[in-house]
Chain A
Amino acid sequence: MADAPPAYLDHAASTPLRPEARDAMVDVLDRSFANPSGAHAAARAARQLVDESREIVAEAVGARPGEVVFTSGGTEADNLAVTGVAAARPGPVLCSAVEHPAVAEPARHAGGGPVPVDRLGRVDLDALEAMLEPAAGGPGVALVSVMAANNEVGTVQPLDAVAEAVRRLQPAAALHTDAVQAVPWLDVAVVAAGFDLVSLSAHKFGGPKGVGALVVRGGLPLTPLLRGGGQERARRSGTENVVGIVGLAAALSATVAERADTVRRVAAQRDRLADGLVAAVPGLVETGVARRADGGADRRHKVAGACHVCIDGIESESLLFLLEEAGVHASAASACASGAVEPSPVLAAMGVPRSAARGALRLSLGATTTDADVDRALAAVPAAVDRLRRFS
């Protein structure tokens, strides 16, 4: 057991590089170093790699190639969306109370306010509508940003209903969704169809770190964060990260091709994991799930890889330590720059008491998760909790 590789259950933090992405990137590293903006054959070859990647991404997320802007990752994509719109037009910025800091922080900087969520972590549509009521005289809402799936608890937002409310009450507002966590699980081309701006991050779906994309539909006016040589149609200057872009596209097309199978398989693993933990550990509550009529957990509004629990009477840091010793790599999902576990604003917004949030544990599954990984977590978590409770 000790010699087996650790069970990696932190896919919401990052995913292993897919072989398709690795192979494509190694090929580019070996063959193509030129600047895509050049006027010679080597440059044209690099340009072709970027153009082909852009088409692959556009196809996968339901956009036109010219609407795909490559960035340095999800955080830049989110910042470009929020800050880029806020700088281009007047009016308030609204985002859900459970956004990733990459959205929440630029939104706060732009004077934005959070839209409350229910106890499952879904945007409170009544509250959203009230915040969208046109104010007499003032400018209309500039931007509404609601993530596709949450990074901590995995809640899928009702994006159709959000888009409908925004279009009805604030037809001029731009709509952004951070789809960084959604790509492995949801068809972004469908769920984000009504959104003007969509953020992606390669390393959340088997691509490399340091590359992402923002879909900017229909020539939406956007003030760039980075000015310079005018690459990416002047929406994001800087020589293209050709290797990363190729890796992103390869990972994305492989992920999309296998998605239906992955979701089916991982959802069953996740259900076994979550149901098993609830049964084995007294005082363990699965976060953000509804109840079925038969008493079981209804996880239809969560992405397939998400298992999040709060465990009474222990704290996350010690639990993670013991889980690591038992060969399970997991997360509390909420850390500060130093690496310390912090109280989660997402759980607070969902109404989880701070005392319960202290014992938060996120086990996030992915395309490479095995049944043995699940078995290992099912053995390790109850044992670790037992030990911590004995010593508390």
Chain B
Amino acid sequence: MRVLVALSGGVDSSVAAARLVEQGHDVTGVTLRLWGGASDTGCCSVADVEDARRVAQQLGIAHHVFNLSDEFEAHVVGPYVADHQAGRTPNPCIECNRHLKFDALLRRAEALGFDRVATGHHARVVVAADGRRRVGRGADRAKDQSYVLHVLDQDALGRVLFPVGELGKAGVRADAARLGLRTAAKPDSQDVCFITSAGGRRAFLGERIPLRPAEVRDARGTVVGRTEAVELVTIGQRKGLGLAGGTSPRYVVDVSVPDVGDGATPVVTVGARHDLLVDTVALDGLAWSAGPVAGPVQAQCSAHGAPATARVEGATVRWDRPQRRVARGQSVVLYVDDLVVGGGFAA
């Protein structure tokens, strides 16, 4: 097959490409240039492109760079900022997969005559008895990336390959070392690629939107503190709320952000640990991998969080045991037997 492999400059995609070459496919490498701004962990610095290019040279495959920075700004960075401004907690990696890697890149690959697009994600594409495809967890549970891939539909699932999904991280590094790839010992990337560790979210958002101070209130509505930037507050947070030392720890249990220009002051509500617990989470933008599912599932609320058992009732997830509240905008991914069946945003 003609395979276009997305080379980020990291070890996983390097080994993905190497495995495809070893399997005898006609492989071409591509690095996506997504972000032109500052970055320290991300995937588009010139150094990472050089690593990707050098790996392609070592493997004897062509390497191209596609500039998708306009699409990245439109579908990932812009919504990331807008979500924070609206008091939501976005996951930009999911939006990047949804709109960039498994939409723009897939479409481009098809136009260029490729049969498949491969990435270095730790996940598997599993074909069920009914012929429908689903995202399965990577063999290495600690590195599993099925959560950020839940947006893949049947069409996309039929056109992607995850060559390292069967390998653990140790297997990936061993393969890279065996092949002498220069990315063999490169550290894994962490966090959001367009946010620097030096500046963090505060600096990134502060350059783009006015950060709004918020009142911190308790459940009775009494003002108990203040915070400088409501955009940086998330459900479950304990620190940075200007609270006087008290009897028991208090957690953010709600964030209420009025529309910009409405003039009202944003409010952060704090409470005890048990105030965080809820029985259900309602989902927006629910998308199914292969048709709607009802009944028992495992639901996962962050990239590497532990899944909890629940029942799907329409667009609501009812936990078997009360769970910590999910921040609005966060993705809730639904699994049955470790296969993704769908997902949506916490409403």
Please list the residues of chain A having a beta carbon within 8 angstroms of any beta carbon in chain B.
317-318, 321-322, 325, 336-342, 387-388, 390-392
B65 at the interface (CB under 8 A from A): yes
B234, chain A: closest CB distance, angstroms: 33
B204 at the interface (CB under 8 A from A): no
Cβ contacts under 8 Å, A317 to chain B? 64-67
Cβ contacts under 8 Å, A322 to chain B? 112-113
Smallest Cβ-Cβ distance to A358: which chain B residue: B70
Q: List which B30-63 residues lie within 8 A (CB) of chain A.
A: 31, 33, 36, 44, 46, 49, 53
B34, chain A: closest CB distance, angstroms: 10
> Is B111 a contact of A392 with CB atoms below 8 Å?
yes
Give complex CA distance A321, B111 in Å.
10
B108 at the interface (CB under 8 A from A): yes
B110 at the interface (CB under 8 A from A): yes
> Is A339 a contact of B112 with CB atoms below 8 Å?
no
A328, chain B: closest CB distance, angstroms: 15
> Is A318 a contact of B67 with CB atoms below 8 Å?
no
Q: A317-B64, A339-B49 are in contact. List 14 more A-B contacts (CB 8 A).
A: A317-B67, A318-B108, A318-B112, A322-B112, A322-B113, A325-B113, A336-B36, A338-B31, A338-B65, A339-B53, A339-B64, A340-B65, A390-B111, A391-B107
B32, chain A: closest CB distance, angstroms: 9
> Is B64 a contact of A341 with CB atoms below 8 Å?
no
> Is A337 a contact of B46 with CB atoms below 8 Å?
yes
Cβ contacts under 8 Å, A336 to chain B? 33, 36, 67
Give complex CA distance A392, B292 in Å.
30
Cβ contacts under 8 Å, A388 to chain B? 111
> Is B33 a contact of A340 with CB atoms below 8 Å?
yes
Give complex CA distance A363, B36 in Å.
27
With A317-B64, A340-B66 as known contacts, state yes or no: A391 contacts B110, CB within 8 Å: yes
Cβ contacts under 8 Å, B110 to chain A? 391
B254, chain A: closest CB distance, angstroms: 43
Q: List which B132-190 residues lie within 8 A (CB) of chain A.
A: none
Cβ contacts under 8 Å, B108 to chain A? 318
A322, chain B: closest CB distance, angstroms: 6
Cβ contacts under 8 Å, A341 to chain B? 67
**Can you spell out 23 A-B residue pairs with CB atoms less than 8 angstroms apart?**
A318-B108, A318-B111, A318-B112, A321-B64, A325-B113, A336-B33, A336-B67, A338-B31, A338-B44, A338-B49, A339-B53, A339-B64, A339-B65, A340-B33, A340-B65, A340-B66, A340-B67, A340-B69, A341-B67, A342-B67, A387-B111, A388-B111, A391-B110
Cβ contacts under 8 Å, B111 to chain A? 318, 387-388, 390-392
Give complex CA distance A279, B46 in Å.
40
Cβ contacts under 8 Å, A392 to chain B? 111
Give complex CA distance A325, B26 in Å.
13
| Residue picked from B44, B67, B107, B113, most chain A C-beta under 10 Å | B67
Cβ contacts under 8 Å, B53 to chain A? 339
Give complex CA distance A295, B46 in Å.
45
Q: List which B279-297 residues lie within 8 A (CB) of chain A.
A: none
A22, chain B: closest CB distance, angstroms: 26
Cβ contacts under 8 Å, B31 to chain A? 338
Smallest Cβ-Cβ distance to B47: which chain A residue: A338
Give complex CA distance A342, B46 in Å.
14
Cβ contacts under 8 Å, A337 to chain B? 46
Smallest Cβ-Cβ distance to B107: which chain A residue: A391
B61, chain A: closest CB distance, angstroms: 14
Cβ contacts under 8 Å, B107 to chain A? 391
Smallest Cβ-Cβ distance to B52: which chain A residue: A338
B188, chain A: closest CB distance, angstroms: 21
Give complex CA distance A270, B154 in Å.
47
A120, chain B: closest CB distance, angstroms: 27
Smallest Cβ-Cβ distance to A388: which chain B residue: B111
Give complex CA distance A392, B108 in Å.
8
B275, chain A: closest CB distance, angstroms: 48
Cβ contacts under 8 Å, B113 to chain A? 322, 325
Give complex CA distance A392, B110 in Å.
10
Give complex CA distance A392, B111 in Å.
8
